[in-house]
Each structure stands twice: as C-alpha cells, then as structure tokens.
Structure 1
Amino acid sequence: MSRVRRDPHAERARAGRGPSGRVRMGVVAAGPARPRTDPHALRAGVLAPSGRLRVDPHGGDLVQHAGVLVEQGPEQPILVADPACLILAVLDLPDGRLERIDRGLLSAARDLADQLDGAVVALTLRGRHDLSRLGADRHIALDLPDSWDPDAELSAIAAALDTLSPRHVLFAETPLLGADRARRLAIRTGLGSAFAVHRLQPSEIRARGAGTDLVGLPPPIMTLHEVLLADMPEPSLREARPVELTIGPAPAAIEDLGEMPVDLTGAPLTEADMIASAGDGVTDWSAFHELAQILNATVGGSRIVCDRGLLPRDRQVGASGTLVAPKAYLAMGISGAAQHLQGIERCQRVVAVNTDLHAKMIERADLAIVADAQAVMPALASLLRERDRG
C-alpha cells in the first residue's frame, strides 16, 4: 500500500493567520488567550524591612487582596504543658551578661529535652533576660547579690533541684563559673556527675577525663565541653514561663573583697577575654606592647612573628598554634592567612588594622581600620589614657 501524500494547499487553508494578516503555517485554532499581566497595575504584597514590596507569585501568605493588608495574628509560643521530664540549665551570665556560651548551653539543653519529650528550665542567678527565643520553657530568674558568694549560689541551685526534681542539670565547663558550681553541687548532693561532656545523647555520653574518653549513661549533673556549646538555639518562640523559687538563707562563709588587679598580658591564650595580636605589619613593638598593657589584653601573634622570634611560640594564634575564643580580638598588621583565620573562628568580635583594604583579616573583621598599625597603636593608646584620666 502506497503512503498517503500530504496536500500542502489544504494545510495552508487550515492554517491560522497572525496579527499581520499573513498566513502562519502550523497554527491551529485555540481557546481564549490567557490574560496578560499589567505591569502598571497596583501590586499587592507586604513591605519588607528594607521598604521594598514583597509579592508572593504563588498567592501565599504575602499576598494582599484588593489592596487590603491581611493582618496575621500574634505568634503563639510553643507550650510544653506536661513534660516527661525537666532539664535544668544553669546559665553562667558573667557580670549579669548573656553570653554566647549561655545561648549554647540552652541550645544543648533544648536538644536533649526534645529527645526526652521534656522541657527546659533556665536558671539565671543574676540579671533579667528574655529567654523566650532561646529555647526556655520555664525560667527561674533570681537576683543574687553581685558579690562572689558560692554558698549562696549553691543554695539557690540546690533549692531548684528540691523544687523541680529535674532529670539532668547542665552547666558550661567554664573554670570560675559553671565548672565550679557543678563540682560544688555534686559534692553537696552526692549525685552522679560527669565533666567536660563532649557527646550528649539520652542513652550515652562521652566525657573527657585523664587523657581518655569516659563513656556511660548520662548522670544527673553534667558540665558541657565547648564543642557542645557552639550551636545557637532555634529562634522559635517558647513560653519561658516564670517559676518562683523559695531560697533559705545561706551561711556567709566567704567575704568578697572585690577583684584584684591582675596583669593579663601573659595569660594563657585559651583563657583570654581580650587578645591583642601582632602580625608582619607591626614594626613598632614598644607601641604594640604599650597598647596591650593599657588594654590589659593578652598578647598574641601570627605564625610569621613567632617564627622570627619576636614573640614566644606559646603566643602563636592559629590552627598550627592555639585556637582562641576571646570576646574581643585586636589584629594589628595581620593579613589573615587561612590557618590564622581558623584559629580565631570562635572569636566574638574582631577588630582589624591593616593597610590592605582587601586583606582577608579585613573581610573577617567586625570593625576594620584601613591604616598603618604604627599610626593607629599610639593614637589608640593616647585615647585610652585620656579616658582613664576622666
């Protein structure tokens, strides 16, 4: 059987015509055309924080109908009405400040409580803070005196244990705060404890001890290693319900005479709150050490500085030296090699002084000064001396 031949004239007759009136081959009759969007028409949406209009093309929650903003109701907090257990997190709050380590402790407590279908109770011994977006279901806020009184702190924590009977009590492994409180509590209560826990699961923990890992079930009292305090809590709104706590009078066995002035320029880098660090761009070493002395900042340096013998090897900051986590890191004339940036990854605030606008340290800095460190150091020292004189 022969193949049917196409009739091009019939095909042209069936073809449609374009807007110009010319015959368009292969066009068939179609239904009603989709209406075109008018770019000049009023577009409905909501204003972003930048002031620009945000429109959801899929008709989601962002869309305003007929130009009328549909108000969303207030955000409702997550409630844990009947928890299977309680996880008590005792925050450090040095000088009453909510630090990153406190947020990390709440994040670890939140993770453990979620696995146990429990609730997080935050205990703050000093300072009033809003913990509703930091993972706290309950909040015990105390106002202990600012003076150092470990007996009063221990009585407050023990009262929280007697009132709430938490399954676990978590502290940060910080030498003068969480670690000290946890060890005092373990001695007073006789409860099982584990310190410097770096792996925390409901069925197993791993803790540092005597150069080896100790593995076992989670005890009632634990301090958490810094590796577990690196995460931040999810910003979900929680109840943070206030909990009242009755505390009996504690014997005043220690009298706080205040802090003694201590020279911190030679303190261990791992314990420093502020580090003044020098790099290859520093040539005026007397000005650098004078600035560190006025700031009472621990002295550090880059690898090239230590290689040249300008600073001792134990002052080297970086992946091949010491990993640091101060509240403030002042980088003078440091370009920012990869190993150095790894060493300051956990610094809270970085101030960099460098002549190169495109230096990696300038990119990393929270505050950058593009200038010669030899000019900045004496100027900053002079400014600090004037401030101290009042």
Structure 2
Amino acid sequence: MTTESDTVETWNTYGNHQLTRGLELPELDRWDWGIPGTGPGIEVLGDMAGLRVLDLGSGLGRHAAHLAARGADVTAVDASPAQHQRALARYPDTPGLHLVCADAVAHLRDADPYDLVYSVGSMPYLDPDRLLPVLANGLAPGGRLLFSALHTNSDGTGPSAELMPRPEILRLPGTTEDHPVNMWVLTPQLWEDLLVQHGLRMEAVTTIDSPKPDNHVSYRLYAARHLQRVPSPTLLRSGSRDELRNALTREWLADKPSRPWILFVADRSAALLSLCRIESERAWIKRMFASVSDYAEYRALIEYYTAEGAVLEARRRRVRNALVHGNPASFAIVDSVREYATFLSGSALNLGLGSYVEGTVPATALAKRTDEFNAMQAGQDAASHWRDQLAGSAATTTPPS
C-alpha cells in the first residue's frame, strides 16, 4: 500500500507529465463530477455569488476558475507542487481565485470557515479519519460539502464497507504507463456514517454511471450539510456579573419557585443570555430561549435536534465499537460524546425537546403534561400555554367579591 505522501508523488509525476506534454485543455463548457457528459452539473452547487468556497484537490484549477467567474471567492488547494504549477501557469491572476499548494488537512486547520467545500474525485485520496474532523470544523454552520467519489472501478470492483484504503491505478494520459495510488473506495452507507459522526448530515447521494455498457466505472456524488453546533453549558458561570448570576441562580434553584421554569426562561432570557461566556455560542443559545415563546422557532429547533440526535447516535456507536472491537476512535469523538451528554442532561430545555434528540415519541416524554403537549401540537408556544394556565388558576382561586 502507498501512503498519502506517495500518492502526492504520483500526482507530481502526473503533473510533470502534463507540463511536458504542453497540452492545453479547453475551459469547462460543462461541469462533470467524474465521468464526462454524465450525471448532474454545476446546478447542484446553487448560487455561488459571494460565497467562500474551497476546492479540495483542485489540480489544473478549471473548476475553481469556473466558479470564480460566477462571483465566488474560491480557494483551490492541491498538495502536488506540479499540479499547483500547472494551475499557476494557466491562471496567474484570475479575480476571485486563490491557488494554494498545501496539504488539505493543514489548510483546513488554519483557514477561516468556508460556506462550501467541494471536491471532484479527490477526497478519496485522503484518509477520512484525518480529513473529516478538520473539514467539519472548516465549514461554517449550515455550510455544504459536495464531493464525488469512486464507487466501482473499471474492473467492476465495488466499494468496501471497511474503512481501509486500497490500491487503484492512475494512467498517465497518452501512455500505457500505470501508477498505483491509495484510495478509500467506500460504500455510501460508510460515507454517510463517517459524515454523521463529524456533525455533517447527508442530504443526497447521486449515482453517476459510465454510459458505455462495457465500462463498469461508477461514481457517487455526495451532498451533505454542516449542522449547527449544540453548545456546551455556558450559562450561570460568569465571574464578571456575580450579582446577576446569583440572583438568577437563587430563583432557578428555589424550593418554591414563583413561576414554572419555562416562564423563568421566557421572562429572563435576556439576562440569562448576557451571562453567556462564549460569544460563538450566543446565537444558538438565543434561539433556544426564543423557542420557548416562538412556536415557529420551536419547530425549527425540533428539526435540528432530530438531526443532532442522529449525529450523537453515530458517535456513540463508533466509541462503543472502539471499546468492544478495538477500532480506532479519536479523542475528539469521545470528547464530543461527553460534551453532548453533559449538555443534554443538564439543560432545562431538555425537558421540552429531549424526546426529539432521543428519537422517542413526543407524547411519551410529555405524558405528564398532556395539556401542554396538546396545546403545542395545535401551534401554541410553551410560554403562552403556561401563562394561560396560571391565569386560569388565578381566576379559579379568586374568591367572589
């Protein structure tokens, strides 16, 4: 088996061969994802104008230049100096195009988040366990990942359900000279499991087959989206506002609270939010507080928590497999499971939304609050329901004048 560094050298050989040939390929007139003239085109990327975009394994740079011409701010990364040199020679000063010769993992580790990361056939040359953790961090919340990957080679050998690389053949154009390259040719289910474990939700898998009946080559185009990050517990721990923190803590932990906890959150959300220590998590916490009084926001969070539940379950499975079967599990994944568990068990909002995280029937979780469940199923927000309950209780207990 060759290593990733050996694969870079193979692509250097390819790039130098193409430089020597001096063959000028035309600009793209159709966007392909692996097999010319087949499958979806550029339309799957949507509107690119103004987006920060990363091309992983950009090669000659034609795809990246095509997107830059459409108004995207594109960074094209390739680890091969020869391939990078080909791109520099072709696009020395293209507006909106930034050509970078670097290891993709190192680049993603240092770069600001991207709105879109795409790769035309190049991602399978990188170890998913090395790439996906930094790729997930390198995508902005809600950002998209689209990549095509070999599924079946020309000999008819299909994908593997194990996370192991295998040798494939790279033939130099215009020759019969073959070079082995290391590739992770994985089943769609394994790709989805890997993406979910790193906080990415699979949205679509498209089959791209060769139109020639005697050619077994087949690719898959994967489209995924980065989920909004669920924060760690960050409230009620602000050293600079002890008086407010203590007041909120006293009311929160009171033996005889003056109002239901959900109204405490609704009424004091601004004060609670002011104690958030981590600025990057403020927007998400604000949404959680808003969901108490805004039914539309509540429904939106249900969708996010459902997807996050799938992420948590996949990560839990991977950690279990590591412990039982000796499969590798990075510390980041273990730590992520611990972080999710801490948050979900400690948050008061877990009482209202926990069933969606766990994948259980909401009616079961809310069985002790049947009236609340019915009201929220009918479109009323939780805070309004409890205000009505308190108002009704007060009216019932008020003696006649």
Higher helix share: 2
Query: Does the alignment reach a TM-score above 0.5?
Result: no
Q: TM-score, normalization: structure 1?
A: 0.23
Highest CA radius of gyration, 1 or 2?
Answer: 1
